[in-house]
Structure 1
């Protein structure tokens, strides 16, 4: 079985007779989300919402 690009296997095991595989998505630094302050400095109370494409 092939994995999607930029995926790494963190671990695997059996739970309730099912194979469970933990995957980690690796994002290159150039594609990581970044903040750009507009009109001054960014406020410290900004919360970033993470989402993953379907």
Structure 2
């Protein structure tokens, strides 16, 4: 599974330890341009499944 930065379109690998959470939500930073890419939980029934948002 890879992430795709919404600013620079750089594709980078999924590393669970790189995912952050704060008062603004769940996110991952692009290692290429530093853009904060928002993530949402799309899991069902107590499961966590993260997906990037287009914001």
How does the TM-score come out when normalised to structure 2?
A: 0.23
* Higher percent of residues as strand: 2
Name which one, 1 or 2, has greater alpha-carbon Rg.
1
How does the TM-score come out when normalised to structure 1?
A: 0.24
